[in-house]
Amino acid sequence: MEPVLYTVLPGNTLWGIANFFGTTTDEIAKLNDIDDPQLIYPGQVLKIPVDRPAPPRYYAVRPGDTLWSIAQRYGMTVNDILAINNLGNPNLIYPGQILMLRL
């Protein structure tokens, strides 16, 4: 396992970071010697344990995104994203739309 370095942004929570990287708050806290998972701060650099690249559970569509580009970024297929989100037309996504990438 090669940890990924992540810099905490304002508004981040350890739970949110763990969810994004497909790990747990306990694993992050242990790797970073964090006694209280509620106490992280902007600018703090955390080591994130990542065994395998996993897509985040949710993804906010950004301007210029396509389902194909999102699928490629996370090692998925367009059909995977369509099925998980019950979408009919792969060409109808919009910035700000929240897509589920894994159950």
**pLDDT higher than 70, residue 54:** no
Percent of the chain with pLDDT over 70: 94
Assigned domain for 42 exists? yes
Assigned domain for 53 exists? no
Of 22 and 35, more confident: 35
Q: What pLDDT, in 10s, does the model give residues 65-99?
A: 999 988 887 878 999 999 999 998 989 999 999 99
In this structure, the answer to whether residues 74 and 41 fall within a common structural domain is no
**pLDDT higher than 90, residue 34:** yes
Question: Are 28 and 5 spatial neighbours (Cβ–Cβ below 8 Å)?
Answer: no
Number of domains in the chain: 2
Query: What is the distance between the alpha carbons of residues 71 and 78, in angstroms, rounded to a whole number?
Result: 6
**Average pLDDT of the chain, as a whole number:** 89
Assigned domain for 12 exists? yes
Tell me what pLDDT residue 52 has: 56
